Amino acid sequence: RKEQIARFVTNVKDNGETYVNPVVDHVDTPDPGVLYYSGVYYAATTSGNAPDKFPIRASTDLVNWNLLGYVFPQDSNGAPKWAVSDFWAPEIHFINEGQFNVYFAARNKNGTLCVGVATGPTPLGPFSDIGEPLVYTPGMGNIDASFFRDGDTDYLIWKRDGNGAIPPVGTPIFIQQVVNNGTRRVGTIHTAITNDQAWEGMLVEGPWIVKNGSTYYMFYSANGYTSPSYAIGVARSQAITGPYTKLESNPILHHNTAVSTDTFVGPGHCSVVQTFNSKKWYIIFHAWHRYEVGSGHNRVMLVDEVEFDDKNGWPSIAFKQPTYTPTPIPQI
C-alpha cells in the first residue's frame, strides 16, 4: 500500500517549506475523517448520493492528497442494503491488524438517518457493511459517528439529529461502549454535550475525541453547515464518558475576518491527529471559499496546526481562523 501511495503522491501544493490552504480544492470534500496508519494518512469524505460512496484520499504529509478509491464503489457487494441515500460523514478507524471499521451515516428505506458500520482488511477496503444499522431510532435521525479506543475499551460517539426533527429538538452528542470489534453497542448511553452555547445555534455535531495527557478533548462543530457562521468548538473531561466542560471562549476556529477570494468561511467537521515523529497536533477540516457558499459549491479541505496551552491545557488555533497564506508545512 505504501508503494502504491508513493506512486500517486506529487508535490503540487507546497515548495518543501510552506503550503497554502486548501490542501484539496476544486472538488467537494466535506466532513473529512482522517486515520493515520503505517506512515500514511487516509481521509474519507461525504459523498451524498453519488454512485461511488465515500471517497478515500491518502497523503504522507497532510498536504498532498490523492484519490485512491471509495469505501463502497458503485459495483461494491459490501454496500449497506438497508441504506438508500444521504451517505454522510465517514470515518475509517483501526481495530486490529487485519480489521478496519468505517463508521458512517445513511438514510434507510423508511427515511430515517442511521449510523452504520462496515469492516475491511485494509484502510482501502474492501469494506462490507454488517447488514443492519448500528444506531437506529424510529422517528429520529442519528449521524456523525466517531470511534475512540480508551485502553482496552472501545467507544462510539455520535449525534442525535434533533435539528432535523419536526419540530426541531436538541442535538446531544452521545457516547456508548462498543464490543465485537466495534460492531455492537452495549451499556449506558452517556450524553457528552448538547447545544447550549449561544454561538452554536440549533445544533452541535461532528464530534472527534483525542486524549492529551490525562484529559479527553472533544472537538465539535456547531451552527448550520451551509452558514458562514459554522465553526468549531472544544470541550474536555477527565473521563471518556464525561461530563464534558466547554471552553467558555468557543469557538476555537471560525471564518476568516479578512474579506477576499483567498479566505474561507464556515470551517467545520474536523479530525485532529498527532503526527508520529514530531508529536505535533493538526486539525483537518472542511470550509467554503468565501464567495462560494451553499448548494452548488464545494466544501474544500484545509489543514492547520493545533497547540495545547502548557498552563491551562486548552487547545487553540492561531487567530481562531484558517490560514490562507503560505504556512510552514506540517512537521510529520
* Overall pTM > 0.85: yes
- pLDDT tens digits along 278-331: 999 999 999 999 999 999 999 999 999 999 999 999 999 999 999 999 999 999
- pLDDT tens digits along 131-148: 999 999 999 999 999 999
C-alpha cell at 294: 451553499
Residue 16, pLDDT > 80, answer no
Structural contact between residues 221 and 199, judged by C-beta atoms closer than 8 angstroms: no
C-alpha cell at 288: 467554503
CA distance 55 to 151: 30
C-alpha cell at 34: 482522517
- pLDDT tens digits along 66-123: 999 999 999 999 999 999 999 999 999 999 999 999 999 999 999 999 999 999 999 9
Beta strands in 97-172 (DSSP E): 99-108, 113-120, 128-129, 142-150, 153-160
CA distance 49 to 51: 6
Structural contact between residues 4 and 236, judged by C-beta atoms closer than 8 angstroms: no
Residue 260, pLDDT > 60, answer yes
Q: Is the backbone of residue 241 left (phi > 0), alpha (psi -120 to 50) or beta?
A: alpha
Q: Confidence class of residue 160 from pLDDT cuts 50, 70 and 90?
A: very high
Q: What is the pLDDT of residue 4?
A: 43
Closest by CA to 96, choosing from 216, 176, 180, 156, is: 180
Q: What is the pLDDT of residue 1?
A: 44
CA distance 42 to 228: 27
